[in-house]
Structure 1
């Protein structure tokens, strides 16, 4: 006698925009090479409309690490670590964040929001969901109706111009994370929510525990780690010590009119995915360009906020007034109103015999689809370093400058 059970398990994930692994040596945090940029010479070039490719790319500066005040030359020098494969920041990125901070605008953020009418339809479809289906084709039909109903997701951007490179980086990183969570793209050692759901279902079957069928909606967003950023300070130098990019998640519920709200709880598979990507973000950033650029922007924003809070410009003849009032962005990129909603599904069959019955479980998890750059900084996040380490770093950067008119230079520290 043969009896067959086919179970459906759905995971529906909506986004707003780390197993064993060895840290990738290509991440700039592991590099001993530093690149330094003079803000005095940078502004001089920009004022004179001498915006060459080198000026536009800030001399190649990307993973920013800190800044020093040079009273003798009335200058502030940004410095950061460098690798050949890491992307650089742009002049536009620099100015966008200056304007955001000095003008006290809302912190940069983005989200990909589903349409309320689509959520209402998805709720209606979910209410008809059965725990047990008679065939795989029936489950596939159910999934296809889900996928068709998801529809486009509205792009929301705040705190920075919608057409800015900064805005596009946030959206690109958010959309990639969405695909990664669903298994539409893969990164070694970072399982998707679908993989995690399948693994748990397999364990439940092996232990002869019940598998619960249902739907779950969660949102994910990139954020800075709790307690970060932290800074180490010395005489005329501020070093960004910790500024980790992490993924946060929260389970969501929908109202009758299709609006989503945070339920206050968490989905275990969403939690595991967020934790895994957070722990492996450095590795992921060496493989995904938008993640690397996002890390650059988080660090740039943190350093500029420190510069603003510490009122560092008062020590030199710089005030950023040209960037705040006169600078015109060099590049603007059209932002679409929405991006296609994503969905993925796969089947995996497990069979086992118990008594005179053969149990055949067809596992069919489904997933479908922000960034918050809120960076609060308090005095407690600045720690004074009394050792010679920062003094030596300061001297190395100052002494390695080739001449007074150099825009950028390299320093091995």
Structure 2
């Protein structure tokens, strides 16, 4: 295990007119140094520190520059050999048009913040080259070859190139192949050249569909066993205290004829207080977790008309519910969950096919007691209608709000990761996915952990009460999908062999 160097500063005199210039690492940077490279670096720095200051001033400028360059070269070598890093994909606190501050408060990112992220990503993402610049109905990605490509990138000391980070432009996964002859597992799906959306998501240049990301695959694969113990989920909920205060406020609220209900907005926000975010089965600081929260948050905003729907056929729930009958102690809850048509395999278990949209919006009602506690009951017809409409128009919605496509990709990656572990595909293939599992080799970005949402109100007054807010969630339970597998003998015709000279390739079939 290496020694951490946090906020290290190297001061070298390189201005011979009497001023010092600083060569320093950002105080926010953390590098994991192997012991050997730490010792090398320490020798260089201690050697520099032993030079009297007057000698430094008397050095030729070229000599000083050389020493600086060598020291920094040593530093860069140390920092890059230990871990292959991910760059881009969220800016550390932004994903899918949502910003997370250091206190864990989630809010909508401003236009300027989104543009700042796009500008930051533009140089890092680059443009797809060669065959990657064209879309393919079926692109194959060798996991054995992917691991070799990651290792080669790590040895060269550079950041992971875009084609690795974005899994050769895959926008989904529909097949998994076990290639015993080549000790490989191959995944396949449609693919496109990538670009950056206006909210900083990495999307297909032609369809706008979200691109799969290696970082999410890594997190999904490493957390299959955690998900077995506590399924992967997130929820956004009001606190019992907030619900209790709101129920008391609602009992006191009286609208005079012609009075705008918005006069109560400030009081409602104060009564409800922040909503709490709960995450299970996945690290809260992962891009995976932040993507779930961002998608959940945006779904709630769509339903409650806090943001305009980009899909004409998907109006807000509030638009649907106007003039309806609403009990004041009932609020809708929506959540998105895995929903595949089928997972089929050939008899030998070397070809697996995943079909269906992969995601569905579900609903029920929260019944709020006077003390703020809740119980669940069947959804009302309008809430169910809105859920069904979101499911029906999900593909169109995901192309216009890529965060939903990113969530859909998490579902695919989690099902595939669970399949690999549950069916012991590594053993059958003779492949060890050690590189993808190793935190020291491949360290995901650390995001701010989402914890709460400032109160937002959008409300209507029904005949029987108010609808002010809604709860939401995401459930990524891949185990039932893998468990409900079926045999399809026709899949034998889909067998493929890996190409030894590439870790990805297009299949014309």
What's the TM-score once normalised by structure 2's chain length? Answer: 0.62
SS of alignment partner, residue 77 of structure 1: strand
CA distance in structure 1 between the partners assigned to 2:248 and 2:354 by the alignment: 49
Task: Give 1:292 shift.
Answer: 0.3
Task: Give 1:138 shift.
Answer: 5.8
Task: Give 1:322 shift.
Answer: 3.9
Q: Deviations over 1:350-388 (max 9, x none)?
A: xxxxxxxxxxx999975324101123337772222223x
1:223 and 1:362, CA in 2 relative to 1: closer, same or farther beyond 3 A?
Answer: closer
Partner of 1:79: 188
CA distance in structure 1 between the partners assigned to 2:305 and 2:248 by the alignment: 26
Candidates 404, 418, 422, aligned match of 1:309: 422
- 32-41 or 168-177, which moves further after superposition? 32-41
1:244 and 1:94, CA in 2 relative to 1: closer, same or farther beyond 3 A?
Answer: closer
Candidates 452, 458, 478, aligned match of 1:338: 452
Partner of 1:118: 242
Say if 2:286 and 2:444, in contact at 8 Å, map to a contact too. no
Task: Give 1:218 shift.
Answer: 2.1
Say if 2:285 and 2:449, in contact at 8 Å, map to a contact too. yes
Matches within 5 A, 1:150-229: 150-185=272-307, 186=309, 187-198=311-322, 201=324, 214-225=328-339, 228=340
1:237 aligns with 2:360: no
Gaps spanning 5+ residues in structure 2: where?
1-134, 193-203
Partner of 1:26: none
CA distance in structure 2 between the partners assigned to 1:365 and 1:115 by the alignment: 18
Q: Deviations over 1:23-65 (max 9, x none)?
A: xxxxxxxx96112111111122334525322222222223111
Partner of 1:40: 144
Q: Deviations over 1:254-296 (max 9, x none)?
A: 344423332x232232121112112222222222111101111
Say if 1:59 and 1:407, in contact at 8 Å, map to a contact too. no
CA distance in structure 2 between the partners assigned to 1:379 and 1:80 by the alignment: 18
Task: Give 1:93 shift.
Answer: 0.8
Say if 1:197 and 1:365, in contact at 8 Å, map to a contact too. no
**Count of residues in Structure 1 that have an aligned counterpart in Structure 2:** 348
Candidates 382, 390, 397, aligned match of 1:277: 390
SS of alignment partner, residue 177 of structure 1: helix
Task: Give 1:304 shift.
Answer: 2.1
Candidates 168, 171, 196, aligned match of 1:59: 168
- What's the RMSD between the two structures over aligned residues? 2.8
SS of alignment partner, residue 278 of structure 2: strand
Q: Deviations over 1:123-150 (max 9, x none)?
A: 10122244xx433336332344223433
Matches within 5 A, 1:222-371: 222-225=336-339, 228=340, 230-234=342-346, 235=348, 236-242=350-356, 244-262=358-376, 264-326=377-439, 327-345=441-459, 366-369=467-470, 370-371=473-474
1:95 aligns with 2:218: yes
Gaps spanning 5+ residues in structure 1: where?
1-30, 202-210, 348-360
CA distance in structure 2 between the partners assigned to 1:316 and 1:362 by the alignment: 62
Candidates 140, 157, 166, aligned match of 2:262: 140
What's the TM-score once normalised by structure 1's chain length? Answer: 0.76
Say if 1:229 and 1:377, in contact at 8 Å, map to a contact too. no
Task: Give 1:179 shift.
Answer: 0.7
Structure whose CA Rg is larger: 2
